[in-house]
Structure 1
Amino acid sequence: MDLRRTRAGQLALLVYSALDRLVDCCGAAQPWTVVPATQLERIRETTGVELILMDVSIPEHLRRDAEGQAP
């Protein structure tokens, strides 16, 4: 699960509809797990995220490095 702040300061949960989209949008170093879509609302409530964003491309300079660390 990756939580990121938007430019407007909102906390967003980034989700991807397929593994190839995750790699294309986030890079190969992005950790991942499978979560049923039916659980997303529960995750939103539990974590306090304000937005759930699907298949969003992360700019290269903001992607995780080989060790999985975000900038």
Structure 2
Amino acid sequence: MPRTATAPATATETACDLSQRFVRVLGRRDNGFVEFAFSVGWPELSVELMLPAPAFEAFCAAHRVRRLDD
């Protein structure tokens, strides 16, 4: 099967500021854990994490996140 060339991505498609960090709180549990989505560069591409509330606040401070909570 022949390979077809694809057009290279444009600068606007690949531009990403890796210094930007984002957090969206997804929920808070009765046991004190915070469920949240964390992303670097693109807020729509994230990983879900869970930490105790004090550790979550420390995590946010250490990464200087921008909160995306609704």
Name the structure where strand makes up a greater proportion of residues: 2
Name the structure where helix makes up a greater proportion of residues: 1
Q: Higher Cα Rg: structure 1 or 2?
A: 2
User: TM-score, with normalisation over the residues of structure 2?
Assistant: 0.32
Higher relative CO (CA 8 A, sep ≥ 6), structure 1 or 2?
A: 1
